[in-house]
């Protein structure tokens, strides 16, 4: 049986928030990169 440590609860919540944030940043960078590649391809 898993016992949730009250001390760890905020740490886990914080790491999940950071994970979501970095996932969002990575997706944004990927979209920017893809958009730039498409713009370059259309130019030539």
Domain for residue 16, yes or no?
A: yes
Q: CA-CA distance, 7 to 42, in Å (whole number)?
A: 54
Which domain, by its residues, includes 15? 11-43
Cα Rg for the chain, rounded, in angstroms? 19
3 domain residue, yes or no: no
What global pTM score does this model have?
Answer: 0.55
Round the average pLDDT of the chain to a whole number and report it: 88
């030539």: which residue's tokens? 44
The total number of structural domains that make up the chain: 1
pLDDT band at 20 (very low <50, low <70, confident <90, very high): very high
Give the pair of three-digit tokens for residue 34.
């893809």
Report if residue 37 sits inside a domain. Answer: yes
Q: Is the pLDDT of residue 30 over 60?
A: yes
- Asked whether residue 24 is assigned to any structural domain, the reply reads yes
Looking at per-residue confidence, does 1 or 3 come out higher?
A: 3
* Alpha helices, DSSP H, located in 1-44: 9-43
What is the rounded distance in angstroms from the CA atom of residue 14 to the CA atom of residue 32?
A: 27
């Amino acid at each position: 049986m898993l016992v949730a440590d009250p001390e760890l609860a905020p740490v886990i919540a914080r790491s999940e928030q950071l994970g979501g944030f970095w996932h969002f940043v990575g997706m944004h960078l990927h979209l920017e990169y893809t958009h730039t590649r498409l713009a370059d391809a259309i130019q030539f």
